[in-house]
């Protein structure tokens, strides 16, 4: 009971820290929306309007679960871009809690707290939790599948002579199922039945296929674990294999509609064809692209990470030096624990070897997509392994603290004022070092994310900070017909951002690229907004000679897409000055919303 109270107390502190880091300044960091985030938003809006699909073809093809979750949240808070970010925040927090629940059952409560703390305060999980991307749903549902899988394994009724099973309160949490001696036995029996747990594991595993592409390989961790149990914990096989079979069948049934759709519409998965290039090259006898990507992909852990500003500080690996040492130590420790039952030919009665083998499979299968596609965009491609990545440093920390406590019973120091010896328990020293590790990591993460990354000019370009500033300006106007120059006027880029961030119904935006054309809204006093990336072509500047510059929107001096200049036209004066439009050399094009134009 005391251990449970400690676990709950520390988990509340960890979750409070995670919530604080994930909600702080969420409305303006990141400083806008990428087109992928905006597209998720408009898909969620379409779901509210009645669209139903098992796969969305927008954005090179997308699994739908994140969009349905965002639409559900929009029902409560309204059709705002914050719904997408809050969906990611909630998924991240639930992942931390579910991961801690599994680690506590499979190992002990201290390792669970360390794993959760790593997920709470390090850079990559924080970055992922504040982005409106579907990849954040994959770790959540896979962790839930692992949790219920382990519950099913831990609840089997196994009676084998010569194998001593631990008590229910043991750290590994292996328990026998014994029906309660009550009249209302059926509901509790169903709840605690291993087959019910396996069925829920299959349900959540099936949902992973509706989250993100790497789920299509991650599921292999479960049949591989069954193979390990056959070799290392054979007494459990007779009760386990039926549950695993039930789990996989349930997952297949849940995922079947998605795969039937993809089989009927193979052209929908544009992204799969783009990412599978190295594998296609292998079938043609060319191993070079795959080998190059595998070397880069393995490097994201220690020496060079994702080089894309959108999702990372370019080149920043997932582990810093201290965490890399802890991860390496935990990886070696887990490998030994997995191999020991096989080498010594002793049954894995406590299932610790099974737990670390599952974790190792999970880690490798989660990293596998990056080994194919390379380091670029790896922080999204590797999302499946994110929760288990933090288990291995936690194992090393827990084992080091345990050995420290065992080897050093205490030491004395002289208190000069009292001239006395005060005995200090070694656990206090280890706890202090562990606290410094996580607090120091949190400080580094806050600086890296909220200062370095959030204010980088390249990040502000990726998240369309300039167009976000335009939306904030237009939200304050009483009403206007406005034409906005942007380098991405296509439906699923800047217009999608405006659909999510423009809340003023009186503003009617239109889009054009000022480098190649000019659009004049057919309204008495339209506004024209020109951006630094899409200024008006020199050949077209004469068409704004009657425009009045109203203002220049404020932007940081380091922004690359500047200035943002707002002009106002008097349509009658403009038509009098520029009609008829005559042929010119070089050709000039004028577009108007009422269709009038010429060259």
pLDDT of residue 580: 52
Least confident of 327-341, 398-412, 568-582: 398-412
Are 497 and 468 in contact by the 8 Å Cβ rule? The answer is: yes
pLDDT of residue 476: 93
CA–CA dist 80, 72 (Å, integer): 12
pLDDT of residue 160: 37
Tell me: the pLDDT tens digits for 455-493?
999 999 999 999 999 999 999 998 889 999 999 998 889
Task: Give 173's pLDDT tier (boundaries 50, 70, 90).
Answer: very low
Q: What are residue 564's DSSP bridge partners?
A: 553
Q: How far is CA 17 from CA 14, 21, 96, 117, 119, in A?
A: 5, 6, 12, 9, 11
pLDDT of residue 404: 77
Q: What's the mean pLDDT in 142-148?
A: 97
Q: Is the pLDDT of residue 145 over 90?
A: yes
Q: Is the pLDDT of residue 181 over 50?
A: no
Least confident of 28-42, 161-175, 199-213, 341-355: 161-175
pLDDT of residue 345: 77
3-class DSSP state of 553: strand
Tell me: the pLDDT tens digits for 39-50?
999 999 999 999
Tell me: the pLDDT tens digits for 109-138?
999 999 999 999 999 999 999 999 999 999
pLDDT of residue 431: 83
Q: How far is CA 37 from CA 87, 88, 247, 267, 271, in A?
A: 12, 11, 33, 23, 16
Domain boundaries, the chain: 2-177+185-453, 464-592
Q: Is the pLDDT of residue 274 over 80?
A: no
Of residues 454 and 546, the one with the higher pLDDT is 454
Q: Is the pLDDT of residue 183 over 70?
A: no
Task: Give 406's pLDDT tier (boundaries 50, 70, 90).
Answer: low
Q: Is the pLDDT of residue 336 over 60?
A: yes
Are 202 and 251 in contact by the 8 Å Cβ rule? The answer is: yes
As a dihedral over the C-alpha atoms of residue 207, residue 210, residue 214, residue 220, rounded to 10 degrees, the angle is: 30
Q: Is the pLDDT of residue 317 over 70?
A: yes
* φ and ψ of 39, to 5 deg: -65, -40
- In 214-259, where do the E strands start and end? none
Q: Which two tokens stand for residue 309?
A: 């500003």
Q: State the average pLDDT for the chain.
A: 85
Residue with tokens 């897409």: 561
Tell me: the pLDDT tens digits for 503-543?
999 999 999 999 999 999 988 999 999 999 999 998 888 88
- ∠ CA 425-428-430, nearest 5°, is 115
Task: Give 257's pLDDT tier (boundaries 50, 70, 90).
Answer: very high
Q: What's the mean pLDDT in 256-283?
A: 81
Q: Which two tokens stand for residue 529?
A: 């907004």
pLDDT cut 70: percent of the chain above it: 86
Compute the radius of gyration of the chain from its Cα atoms: 29
Its sign, for the CA torsion 247, 253, 258, 259, is positive
pLDDT of residue 273: 66
Of residues 351 and 560, the one with the higher pLDDT is 560
pLDDT of residue 599: 30
- Tell the burial category of 334 from Cβ atoms under 10 Å away from its Cβ (0-12, 13-18, 19+): buried
List of residues 6+ apart from 576 with CB closer than 8 A: none
pLDDT of residue 59: 74
Q: Is the pLDDT of residue 182 over 90?
A: no
């Amino acid at each position: 009971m005391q251990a449970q109270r400690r676990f709950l107390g520390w988990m509340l502190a960890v979750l409070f820290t995670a919530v604080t880091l994930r909600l702080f300044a969420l409305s303006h960091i990141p400083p806008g929306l990428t087109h992928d985030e905006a597209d998720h938003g408009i898909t969620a809006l379409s779901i509210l309007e009645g669209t139903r699909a098992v796969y969305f073809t927008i954005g090179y093809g997308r699994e739908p679960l994140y969009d349905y979750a965002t639409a559900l949240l929009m029902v409560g808070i309204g059709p705002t871009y914050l719904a997408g970010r809050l969906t990611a925040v909630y998924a991240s927090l639930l992942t931390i809690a579910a991961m801690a629940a599994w680690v506590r059952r499979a190992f002990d409560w201290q390792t669970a707290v360390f794993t959760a703390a790593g997920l709470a305060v390090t850079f990559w999980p924080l970055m992922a939790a504040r982005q409106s991307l579907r990849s954040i749903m994959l770790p959540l549902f896979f962790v839930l599948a692992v949790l219920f899988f382990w519950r099913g394994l831990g609840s089997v009724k196994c009676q084998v002579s010569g194998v001593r099973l631990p008590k229910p309160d043991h750290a590994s949490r292996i328990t026998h199922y014994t029906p309660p001696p009550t009249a209302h036995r059926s509901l509790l029996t169903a709840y605690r039945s291993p087959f019910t747990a396996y069925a829920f594991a299959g349900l959540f595993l099936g949902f992973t296929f509706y989250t993100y592409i790497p789920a299509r390989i991650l599921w292999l961790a479960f049949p591989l674990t069954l193979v390990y149990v056959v070799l290392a914990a054979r007494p459990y096989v007779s009760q386990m294999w039926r549950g695993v079979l039930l789990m996989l069948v349930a997952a297949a049934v849940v995922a079947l509609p998605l795969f039937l759709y993809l089989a009927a519409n193979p052209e929908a998965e544009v992204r799969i064809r783009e990412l599978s290039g190295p594998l296609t090259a292998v079938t043609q006898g060319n191993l070079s692209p795959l080998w190059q990507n595998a070397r880069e992909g393995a490097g994201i852990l220690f020496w060079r990470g994702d080089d894309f500003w959108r999702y990372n500080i370019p080149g920043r690996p997932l582990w810093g030096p201290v965490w890399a040492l802890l991860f390496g130590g935990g990886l070696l420790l887990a490998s030994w624990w997995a191999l020991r039952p096989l080498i010594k030919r002793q049954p894995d009665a406590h299932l610790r070897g099974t737990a670390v083998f599952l974790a190792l499979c999970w880690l490798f299968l989660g990293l596998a997509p990056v080994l194919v596609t390379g380091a670029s965009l790896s922080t999204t491609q590797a999302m499946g392994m994110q929760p288990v990545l933090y288990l291995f440093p936690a194992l090393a920390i827990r084992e080091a603290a345990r050995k420290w406590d065992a080897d050093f019973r205490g030491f004395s120091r002289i208190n000069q004022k009292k001239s006395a010896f005060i005995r200090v328990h070694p656990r206090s020293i280890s706890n202090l070092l562990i606290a410094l590790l996580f607090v120091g990591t949190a400080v580094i993460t806050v600086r890296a994310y909220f200062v370095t990354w959030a204010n980088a000019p390249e990040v502000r370009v990726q998240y369309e900070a300039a167009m976000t500033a335009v939306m904030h300006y237009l939200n304050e106007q009483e009403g206007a017909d406005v034409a906005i120059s942007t380098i991405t006027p296509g439906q699923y880029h800047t217009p999608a951002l405006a659909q999510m961030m423009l809340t003023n119904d009186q503003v009617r935006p239109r889009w054009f690229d000022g480098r190649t054309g000019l659009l004049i809204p057919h309204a008495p006093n339209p506004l024209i907004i020109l951006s630094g990336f899409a200024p008006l072509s020199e050949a077209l500047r004469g068409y704004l000679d009657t425009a009045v510059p109203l203002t220049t929107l404020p932007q940081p001096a380091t922004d690359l897409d500047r200035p943002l200049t707002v002009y106002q036209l008097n349509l009658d004066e403009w038509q009098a000055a520029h009609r008829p439009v005559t042929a010119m050399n070089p050709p000039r094009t004028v577009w108007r919303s009422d269709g009038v134009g010429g060259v």
